[in-house]
Amino acid sequence: MILRRRPDSRFSEVAREWDGGTTVLIGGGPSLTDDQVRAVSEKHARGRITCIAVNDAYQLAPWAEICYFADSKWWERHHGRHEFVSFAGQKCSIQDSMTKITDDAVHILRNRDFPRHGYGLSLDPAAIVTGRNGGFQALNLAVLAGSRTAILLGFDGQPGADGKTHWHYGHGRPTHDSAYEEYRNSFASAATAIREAGVRVINCSSRSVIDVFEKMTLEKALCESAAAVA
């Protein structure tokens, strides 16, 4: 298992179980499509990739290895839902939310910069950087798990052309421009460190303004990652 509880501690750490593999991170951006999720599901079923579902994406990818969420209020809305209860993978959040999360089945990772929010990248398996957003935290987790390639889906960093902020109904509060700026900055601040760690990040979010990683179609990214493993 990727997430392992530390002895005599409420905190967990990340095991390097995905060493050299490809991990797809499914986020909440409005560019995410059913066809993309279907393509990821097919590769996952054949054992070609691993997957982290960020926030509501566990509903689209109940087969993912991890459901990652950073917000205890999100957990309060979802923890009783059948889809969340029956989610077969591991569930994970961050230290900042642990006082309100009462489910011991949820793994908690330390915030490297607690009680502050930090930027950059953590290479400590027991701690991640918040970047002020769960999508970045999930990427830091994938790096710690040993992924050689991380593919981003639904990581837009901006609203859709129709003004929608998510592929789902959102998180019950508006997303302000400052939040999008922090979202973009979190990836920019860590891009060099991620490359130096030997991790290739491919942004397959079609309308993404996160421009610090290479961009390509999901089909090409999955083919290239498969060829690299072979």
- pLDDT tens for each residue of 43-64: 999 999 999 999 999 999 999 9
Count of the separate structural domains present in the chain: 1
CATH number of the domain at 56, please. Answer: 3.90.1480
Query: Half-sphere exposure of residue 190, counting CA atoms within 13 Å on the CB side?
Result: 30
Query: 83 is in which domain, residue-wise?
Result: 3-229
Which pLDDT tens digit goes with each residue over 150-205?
A: 999 999 988 777 768 656 665 555 566 667 788 899 999 999 999 999 999 999 99
Confidence (pLDDT) at 183? 82
Rounded CA separation 50/65 (Å): 7
Q: What is the pTM of this model?
A: 0.93
Rounded CA separation 19/29 (Å): 27
